[in-house]
Copies of this chain bind each other. A is one copy, B any other.
Amino acid sequence: MLDRSVFERLVGLDAADPLQDRRHLFHLPQGITYLDGNSLGCLPHSARRRADQAVAKEWGEGLIRSWLGAQWLTLPGRVGDRIGRLIGAAVGQIVATDSTSITLYKVLNAALDLQPKRLTILTDQDNFPTDLYILDSVAQQRNCRVRRVRQDDVAAEIDDTVAVVALTHVDYKSAAIYDMPGITAKAHAVGALTIWDLAHTAGAIPCDVDGCQVDFAVGCGYKYLNGGPGAPAFLYVAKRHQHAARQPLHGWFGHRAPFDFSPSYDPAVGIARFLSGTPSVVALSALDGALDVFEGVELATLREKSRRMVSEFLALFDAHLVSRGFVLASERDPKRRGSHISFSHPQGYRIMRALADRGIIGDFRAPDVLRFGFAPLYNRFADVGTLIEATLEVMEAGTWQREEYGVRQAVT
């Protein structure tokens, strides 16, 4: 078991945490230590209120009049601009809409259209699967090719045959962070464009898409942005590309004048041309409400707490879990790691099931990886201790060996 002094120190860190009051903005189930905000963020009270307002007042009372009266028409851009603050984007460059897969499809087609003489999409062979699927699908449709390389080789592989470098900024398994400024500059130096997937970045790791001159980006609304299960994704198109950029999903909400009902498509001026069909107002409203929890938060404070939580975890991991057969699967360098950690164990699946029964929620990634996220707005330093202690208990009591834990369930 962990020494009592360990918990005292962690509780002391919580007492000094400038973000400690933010925790009360969330609904946190009793008896649960939730360390999976990198997969699905906790429910902000403001998200529930805002979603119900959209349903009961804006829809129920306002009905069709709310497209103007409640400003539904501009909701994708207004939510997008709020996300922009978290990733370094000035207003007018982001819309919240669709899913990450579909937003990637849109910006990848847009980027390739801008590169008519190049046919190669460069990516990380360990990129998140849905990203790889979309890249392959688009490449097949357009007779392009996808070059998948190892993470360490990406920078070296950027040459003047590359049309687009498409990467996930923070690796979904290891949490390793790509050098966004360096990779983007290298791509531009040889005439390539960049698409960054910020799924594990936005809301936890500050970045500066405008400052890095990123071309396109996409990201997820339901992880650290806490927008709810399947929340709208977001996409960023740098202002300088918006005039020339086109996307192939020509829906009426991307039209210059949707309510003219023109028989021919004429893309909207600006980022709105990246919309397609009617956006889900209820889902966007939940995400809009969720973003309230970031109001007044300094991104540097957020990042510092995330970094510190992972550091505390690593110290305890080295001291207690390595000797029990656990192997770290994450980046150690604090500058190059995100806000979650992964480690493996041959009995990883059973251990995760046993932890879940003790109220510790993380996620399992086949074949043997346990992954835990530290969400700086609601996780406490004490949660790090709880995770380590519960893991030790599961190992020492041997509860992971229970027969029921051998039966595989689908997990997310």
Contacts and interface: CB of A to CB of B under 8 A. Distances in A.
Interface stretch (A280-288, A307-315, A379-387): A280-288
Interface in A27-71: 27, 29, 32, 34, 36, 39-40, 42-43, 47-48, 51-52, 54-56, 58-61, 63-68
Contacts of A54: 229
Contacts of A51: 51-52, 55, 282
Contacts of A409: 68
A160 B259 CA distance: 36
Interface in A113-149: 125-126, 129-130, 132-134, 136-138, 141, 148
Interface stretch (A93-101, A178-186, A292-300, A327-335): A93-101
A43 B60 contact: yes
A98 B100 contact: no
A251 B134 contact: yes
A5 interface: no
A102 B99 CA distance: 11
Contacts of A125: 263
B265 A133 contact: yes
Interface of A: 27, 29, 32, 34, 36, 39-40, 42-43, 47-48, 51-52, 54-56, 58-61, 63-68, 72-73, 98-102, 105, 125-126, 129-130, 132-134, 136-138, 141, 148, 222, 228-233, 248-253, 255, 258-265, 276-284, 286, 356, 361, 363, 365-366, 409-412
